Every structure is written in C-alpha cells, then in structure tokens.
Chain A
C-alpha cells in the first residue's frame, strides 16, 4: 500500500445515525471513502452524528445507512428537524449516499404493509411501498460509471417522481423500481445517490466511490483521481465483483414470509 502525503483542505464525511442505521455494514461505505482519500493523500475527517447531535455545517459527503423499521421510527423526528440543513447542503452540491432505510427516510413517504404511511423528508422525488415479497440475492445494474454490483435484501418497491434520475438498469437480480420491461436500481438526484445495494456498496464499487469522491474533493479544491495507490483496493474489488458475476442468480435461502 502506498500513501501520498496528506495536504490541503480536509474533506469531511458525515455519517448520520451510525448506531440506529448501521445494520448492513454501513460503516464500510464510510471506510471505503476514507481509505481511498487517505491513499490519495487527501486529508479526511469522519464525523458521526447521532440523535440530538448538531448537524455539521461543512459536510462534503453525508452517509445514511440501513436499519429496521423500528430504527427508522426512532430517528425520523430527529432527521425531520435537520430537513432544511440537509436540503441546503444538497442544493450546494454535497454528495449523499443513502442506503435502504436511509433512502426511504429521504423519500416522500413509506407505505407500510398495515396501511400506515411513514412520512419521509420529501427530499427525494420517490414514494416507497413495502412489499410482502422480499428481494434477496446478488444484484447487478449497468450505470454510466460501469456495473453497479452488490447484494440486495429489501421488501420495497419504489415509485419515482419528477426529477429522479435512474442510475442503474438491472441486468441481474431484482432491483428497486420498474424500468421499461425490466427494473432499475439506484437513483440520482443532484449528487444524492439512493440505493438498495448492500455489500456494502462502496467497497465493492470503486467506480461509484470515485464519482462521490471526485465531487467531494472538488468542493475542497482537490482534484481527486484514483491512481496506483488504489490498485490493491481495486484489484480485490475486481476479484469480488467477478465472483459475484459468476454466482449471480443463485438461490438464496428465504422461506420466511411476512
């Protein structure tokens, strides 16, 4: 592993609710960005924000992870109180990665199986419907940045509204919303990426990490580009991605129904 000497302005990554929204290795998404910046010689700081903590004003990347419905309920009010700050940050071009429950909380609302609707922040033009059938297994989608590859494990169907840019077209696995005759996975709104891809998604997808880091680093006057110091990470990610491409479509053990 090689490391460039860190210099210049610090890129700040904020992870919201790591305690509550962090059941699917969401720490790994933060770690992927942090590691790649470190190896590029760009100074980086990670800030964890829990319920009741102040929202840092100068975030360059915001990470919202995945969690159970009970965790969504527990953080919902606190997150709503941050709506204006979050909205302003997104308008200013801050990069956001929201996975699973994190993405659902930013939506217009989540229709639950019992008919209740959990209000989202209305930041993403997206409505979520929880489904009886669960979508579990490897998922692969074609994107402008190459193949998005990971593991899906959710019981939700998204309906996209005006302004939601489809990021991925599913080529294997189930995905999150209808797209043409097939399905789509992950949307982009400005620099917000909302996804149901786990794995976690960023370690497995250096191309998406690099897009997020390019945006974040530029905000601090850095020109980020993956280089030789990322070769080890990229080679192992390539190995993991190839193994998934070879196994995609395999049966996953899911006999429990809601």
Chain B
C-alpha cells in the first residue's frame, strides 16, 4: 500500500532521544554561528528518517499544508494567527523553511527530547516540489493551494507542472482540500480524485475586474480554457477599502484588517479564513478571526515602517517585497499614487529577471535610486519604460546613504521595493536585521 521507502510513522518516544538531541545540538551550534540553517533538520532526517512522520499523529486538529507560487508564508502566518486567536496552540515552520529539512528543523526547535511537540495543530508552508513527499510523511488533514503563477521557471520549467504538483498532493488530504477558484489551473481541480471534499475561496468578480491587472495568476495554456471555471466560494472577498476588507465565510460577513494593502493579500486572507473555518468547524468565530488578523500586522514586517535614520520621529521607510512579476505587479497596483521617494532593488537572489519586462510600471513616475547586484538590468528596464532615475548604484549600502542624503518627503515616508534578499540587507543597514521577515 505505501511506498517501501517511506519511513513508517511511529509515535514520539525514547528511541528519538539521540537524534533529537543531536539535531538540537546542531541547531544550537548553527545559531551560534548566526545562521538559520537547514542543516540540523537535514542531519536529523539522516539519523532518524522516521522522526518527521511522528508529527503526523501528534495534533488534535491535524496538520495543514499551505501550497502556492506566491503568498505561502503570509498565508501560513494568517492561518496560524487566526487559529491562535481561537485559543489553539500552533506549531509552524518559519519563513521559507518549507523543505523536509526545514520542517524537521522547526520540529527540533519545539520538540521535547522524545520528539513530542505540544500543540493543537500544525500549520506548515510546503514547497510545491516536495508537497506529495511530505504529504506521504505527515498525513495532512487540510491542503490549501493558493495560486499558480509564472515563477521559478529555472526550477519548475513549466507553470502547469506546479499546478499538477499541488493538485497531486491535494489527493492526500484527509479532511479538506482548499482551492483558489479564481486560479485558471487550480479551478479545474478534479474533485473526484480527492479523498476529501473541496472548498473554494475567491475574490468577488467585480473587485477583480476593478484591479488593473486582476489577480495575476498564470493563464491556462493547456486545457483550451484559458481562464478559471466558475465555482461558488465558501469564503469570498466582497469588499476592499485599503487594508480593511470584508470576507463572507459560509455566508457570514467577517471584517478584517490586512497586514498590508493589495488584492493578493485579500485573496490570501480568504484562503486563510477558509482553512481556519474548516479546521475549527462550529468553533469558528468571526470576532476571533478578526483578532487573529489584528495580532499579525505589527509583528510581521509588512505594513511596518522602519526609521531611515534611527529616528522614530523622522523619515520612515516602508518596505514592499516582490519575488516575481505577479507579486511586483500586485504590489504596484496596490500603491496609493506614485511614491514620492522610491528605491528599487534586485540582486542575484532572483536569477532570471526577464520578467521585469512583463510588469506594467504605470504606477511609478520616477525612481530615486536603483540598486542591488542587478541594478543595471533593472535600470535598463526602467529606461525602456521612460521612467527617470536619480541614481544607479549596485551597492545597497551606498544606495541607502544616498536615500538618507535626500530631503524628507512630505508624507514622512519613502518606499523601498526590494526582493527578499535585499529586504534582509536593507533592514540590517537600517539597524533592524534581528527580526525574522516573511518571504512572500
């Protein structure tokens, strides 16, 4: 029945003391060196392949997988906070630790020496490429698939393969499959292949139509039907006013505040509410859900501002993170007018930047400094759009010094559009490198 290579799930217990202790020691050592390395998890998985599967049976409310091209970390965080606001203890993996070794590293952080994790539910973001493998190990009760976007072609080659990876993993969900009904590939889920019933989430069509570039999900080039096929949504975004949105969940209105503006975050919120309502059943409560979202914003590095010159009263920096064309486009579409002062940055953490030419840059009217290792590629793109630039400076430190040298903005806030790696570097330069920041 099961693959003989799949380690058999056992219960947490004494047999795990040695591998867990070794992993915890490795974790301690790598953290002393200042790294959040996946090595401890890798080591422990090698020493004891059956440890990770013990997680499967440990949570009363089961294991939730969050899959998607964009928004995994954000949504994992949303689901976790909403469940916490309902009184549950949540086990989760940190930012981007979404490979098997990352999940084990998270386990090592929280587990007792016998491998026990004291939590009611596990909410895990999982890399699409490992989703089925991890589902075989962890028997998730709920699998959420957020979206399929043109992303990481150097890794996945073809966008529809990513859709297939998510839908294949979803056949393993034991209780609920949660699907974005507005995603062209995902909306074509074959419900008859699933063990569990399918719940859809989405954004009301008139709201999508108002957005300059819709939801930026990948066009279906396979089935002959390019767009999504209609499904009634269990949770639907029905009103958006900046960060304040309303989502109907199973017919009831749930008002919430998003961690940052953007239709992509609204869609993530509908996804998170669907998952939470399915996990909690009758225990789901709109007020608690709203509290969960309220808790998440400040501690999260989104919608958060950081002082430009270590002066809390002075000029502030708002970071906006992108990782590919869809996320850059959605963030540009969410701007309130062209930023008064703008830093744009991209480095080798984004290997191929051909997609920069697929992004519509109408939302900005100038850039003050273009920076990062790929500053010239980015600047070349801007020049082709006729967007004036103040300075092209690949060195982020020098770019920040330049931004500090400019007069203050009338709004007291400048905007930095950065990829993940440069967000971390930018935060460190501003003296905020200590905090973990979610990779979108």
Q: Which residue of A lies closest to B360 (CB)?
A: A27
A92 contact set on B, CB distance < 8 A: none
A252 contact set on B, CB distance < 8 A: 154, 351
Interface-located stretch among B286-294, B370-378, B403-411, B425-433: B370-378
Residue among A19, A136, A198, A233 making CB contact with B384, cutoff 8 Å: A233
Measured between C-beta atoms, what is the minimum distance from A108 to chain B in Å?
23
Interface size classification for chain B? 35 or more
Q: Is A236 an interface residue (CB 8 A)?
A: yes
Beyond A68-B160, A69-B158, A243-B374, whether A253 also contacts B351 by CB under 8 A is yes
Q: Which residue of B lies closest to A242 (CB)?
A: B376
B373→A31 contact, CB < 8 A: no
A258 contact set on B, CB distance < 8 A: 157
Residue among B150, B373, B379 making CB contact with A23, cutoff 8 Å: B150
Q: Is A28 an interface residue (CB 8 A)?
A: yes
Measured between C-beta atoms, what is the minimum distance from B380 to chain A in Å?
4
Distance in angstroms between the alpha carbons of A258 and B129 in the assembled complex: 11
A67 contact set on B, CB distance < 8 A: 221
- CB contact list, B347-377 vs A, under 8 A: 348, 351-358, 373-377
Residue among B160, B351, B356, B383 making CB contact with A236, cutoff 8 Å: B383
Q: Digit string of B121-160 for contact with A (CB within 8 Å is 1, else 0)? A: 0000000010000000000000000000010011111111
Q: Is B224 an interface residue (CB 8 A)?
A: yes
Distance in angstroms between the alpha carbons of A240 and B384 in the assembled complex: 14
Distance in angstroms between the alpha carbons of A22 and B380 in the assembled complex: 19
B351→A137 contact, CB < 8 A: yes
Q: Is B88 an interface residue (CB 8 A)?
A: no
Distance in angstroms between the alpha carbons of A151 and B376 in the assembled complex: 15
B392→A236 contact, CB < 8 A: yes
Measured between C-beta atoms, what is the minimum distance from B305 to chain A in Å?
31
A233→B354 contact, CB < 8 A: no
- CB contact list, B161-187 vs A, under 8 A: none
B373→A68 contact, CB < 8 A: no
Interface of A is mostly: mixed
Q: Chain A: how many interface residues by the 8 Å CB criterion?
A: 47
Interface-located stretch among A8-16, A55-63, A199-207: A199-207
B373→A25 contact, CB < 8 A: no
Q: Digit string of B322-352 for contact with A (CB within 8 Å is 1, else 0)? A: 0000000000000000000000000010011
B221→A240 contact, CB < 8 A: no
The chain B residues found within 8 Å of chain A, CB to CB, are 129, 150, 153-160, 219, 221-222, 224, 226, 348, 351-358, 373-377, 379-381, 383-384, 386, 392, 394
The chain A residues found within 8 Å of chain B, CB to CB, are 1, 19-20, 22-28, 31-32, 35, 67-71, 73-74, 134, 136-137, 151, 153, 155, 198-200, 203-204, 232-233, 236-237, 239-240, 242-243, 247, 250, 252-256, 258
- 5 smallest CB-CB distances across A and B, nearest first, come from A28-B357, A239-B376, A25-B354, A25-B357, A240-B376
The contact sample of 25 A-B pairs, CB cut-off 8 A, is A19-B226, A23-B153, A24-B153, A24-B354, A25-B354, A25-B356, A25-B357, A25-B358, A26-B357, A28-B354, A28-B357, A28-B384, A31-B384, A70-B221, A70-B222, A74-B224, A153-B352, A155-B157, A198-B352, A199-B354, A233-B384, A237-B376, A240-B376, A250-B348, A255-B155
